[in-house]
Amino acid sequence: MQVYKAPIRDMRFVLAEMNDMADFEPLGFDGFDLELADTVLEESARFCEEVLLPLNASGDAEGCTFENGVVRTPRGFREAYAKFRESGWTSLAADVEHGGQGLPESLGKLVEEMSCSANMSFGLYPGLTRGAYVALKAHGSDELNARFLPKMVSGEWAGTMCLTEAHCGTDLGLLRTRAVPKEDGSHAVSGSKIFISSGEHDLADNIIHLVLARLPDAPKGVKGISLFLVPKLVPMEDGRPGARNGVDCVGLEHKMGMKASATCQMNFNESKGWLVGEPHKGLAAMFAMMNSERLSVGIQGLGVAEIAYQSAVAYARERLQGRALSGVKSPEKPADAIIVHPDVRRNLMRMRAETEGCRALGAWVARALDRLERSKDKAVRQEAEDFCALMTPVVKALFTDLAFENASRGVQVYGGHGYIRDHGVEQFVRDSRIAMIYEGTNGIQALDLVGRKLPAHMGRYLRTFFHPVSAFIEANSADPQIGEMVKGLSRAFGALQLATATIAQRGLRDPEEAGAAASDYLRLFGLVALAYLWARAAKIAHEKMPAANGDASFYRAKLATAQFFYDRVLPETAGLFAAVKSGKASTMALEEAAF
């Protein structure tokens, strides 16, 4: 069964114990405090558990339907979306000036995680609107933004990003969609796009597409791509949606999972669009959306991993098979619950250690997003921007790789019952699989990390991660409680530093060296980041436990899980380091014809 209770206690831990609530003070989030955060988290939990979760399996079974150009979401989605919107979940972290509630991303990302746990397909609809909002806010003209953003923030209108064409996904330089300037300052956009999530659906009154296209005078390749805002319905003077705009859904993809999310083939036929940002600089503008989406996709992974974990735990507690190796645990029953078995626990603990670790890392990055967005101190903003740039590919790829692995672990706990559709846990495997691909495959994330983020400004981005880790190791290596753990962190961190230097040196000489090492390096990087956060979590748990009273079991669990991470997950870094060191030779040696 799909079991989910929002992990509010752990969310409060990453929000207010792993990070400092006082951080928000200088950022001007007026009135935001832990009490408000708690209220929002509890409301969100209730909504996700009561409204979104019951639609998750039914949405998967029913899927979206396509008839005469009309896309229908599964039963219940329209009503749920209307409630979602009315309850203010679309406007949470949006700016007050656009009708948003002006709450921090540190809270917004936790709420996002909940909706992705309860219903990943559903969560993608508002997720893309949020991404489009981010791109427009950064690059749209004031006029365009005044016209479109408030409706997107309120959720009345939805958003998409239209990049991919049949012949190009990763390599956007090949794209063919074109935009011809019109006398009124708008453009006529024509072309075909594929894999457009939420390209057409029945949840919102209008859909605002952000479309990459070429102007007539565009240079070839990626330097000739511009970004356009193309609404499904052109708004009238009074702001209401008006006439159809030559934007048509011509097909719906049949996919492995995410069946309640409409993945559309879209045709643009001289559709009216407006330039967003400067001509030929569309990729940069789109990257504002893409970076926001990449973090969100990481959070999707985290969300699915959490529900997979909870669903596996629930089954492990109730399924009776065999007897505990340490002696019968439930003599009154015909067998013990399988949670007593070490190999089942190994799966559950790994899911738990990785998921909670990712939540802490997501919270760290979200805090930087808030500083980047709101700090009045330029140096603080720069440092936050560097950190977000560095961590975005790590969060996207690491969280989604782990999500797929853990969704599969969850199925394993269920055994044969996990493989049949009735329990709904194989859906997590199918749903989570896309997150490793969309918004840039995880291989592309790894190349972004080693090819762009490491060398940027002579390694300046990297310092935003390396410095706090170094400082923590130095300050805590003799700590009587976590000193042993810090030794393990120090070893893994040393390997990461060496791997970084190796890639930097070899990559300068030969970019294929960096390319061959990229994916293993990203995972090494990600595991070290989780190890750092687990050591910090353990330190906090030790500090708080003596006075924790009723909360002591929470901190005891933190310590146990931290130790598991160090014992059984972190050691993977040794193999990753060796793989990075081995260089490109054997990866590139095979003649192409010999494959």
Q: Kindly tell me which of 93 and 312 has the beta carbon lying closer to a second copy.
A: 312
Both tokens of 562, joined, read 């931290």
- Determine the Cα–Cα distance for residues 94 and 116; give it in Å rounded to an integer: 19
Q: Out of 19, 347, 464, 476, point to the residue binding a second copy (CB under 8 A).
A: 347
The reply on whether position 394 binds a second copy by CB under 8 A is no
Tell me the site size for a second copy, rule CB under 8 A: 102
Side chain identity at residue 539, one-letter code = K
Q: Is 269 left (phi over 0), alpha (psi -120 to 50) or beta?
A: beta
- Rank residues 143 and 419 by Cβ distance to a second copy and give the closer one: 419
Structure tokens at 231: 């609404």
* Full 3-state SS string of 183-198: CCCCEEEEEEEEEEEC
| C-beta of 149 vs 562, nearer to a second copy | 562
Specify whether the backbone of 375 is left (phi greater than 0), alpha (psi in -120 to 50) or beta. beta
What is the C-alpha separation between 191 and 197, in angstroms, rounded? 17
Structure token pair of residue 459: 């390694």
Q: Does residue 424 belong to the site contacting a second copy (CB under 8 A)?
A: no
Residues 275-334 that bind a second copy (CB under 8 A): 313, 316-317, 320-322, 325-326, 334
Q: Rule CB under 8 A: say whether 589 interacts with a second copy.
A: yes
Token digits for 463?
Answer: 């310092």
| Segment interacting with a second copy (CB under 8 A) among 20-28, 113-121, 137-145, 559-567 | 559-567
Backbone angles phi, psi at 373, to 5 degrees: -80, -35
Beta pairing, strands 206-213 & 157-162 = parallel
Q: Catalytic pick from 270, 439, 572, 591?
A: 439
For the CB of residue 462, give the shortest distance to a second copy in the complex, in Å: 21
Nearest approach in angstroms of CB 250 to a second copy is 15
| Residue 266 near residue 209 (C-beta atoms within 8 A) | yes
Closest separation in Å from C-beta 10 to a second copy: 12
65 binds a second copy (CB under 8 A): no
Which of 210/524 has CB closer to a second copy?
524
Asked if 432 and 404 count as a contact pair (C-beta separation under 8 A), the reply is yes
Between 320 and 475, CB nearer to a second copy: 320
223 in contact with a second copy (CB under 8 A): no
Beta pairing, strands 226-231 & 206-213 = antiparallel
177 in Cβ contact with 191 (< 8 Å): yes
Residues 231-260, interacting with a second copy (CB under 8 A): 253-256
| Residue 446 in contact with a second copy, rule: CB under 8 A | yes
Q: How far is the CB of 344 from a second copy (least distance, A)?
A: 7
* Nearest distance from C-beta of residue 185 to a second copy, angstroms: 32
Q: How many degrees, rounded to 5, is the angle at CA 372 between CA 521 and CA 222?
A: 60
Tell me if 363 sits within 8 A of 14, measured CB to CB: yes
Measured distance CA(110)–CA(42) in Å, rounded: 11
Candidates 117, 442, 464, 476; binder of a second copy (CB under 8 A) is 442
CB of 33 to a second copy, least distance (A): 28
- Minimum CB separation from a second copy for residue 591, in Å? 7
Q: Which of residues 487-526 bind a second copy (CB under 8 A)?
A: 510-512, 515-516, 518-520
| DSSP structural state of residue 200 | S
Give, as ranges, the residues between 177 and 216 that touch a second copy (CB under 8 A).
194-195
- The answer to whether residue 237 is catalytic is no
Stretch of 64-72, 90-98, 163-171, 285-293 contacting a second copy, by CB under 8 A: 163-171
Residues with catalytic function: 439
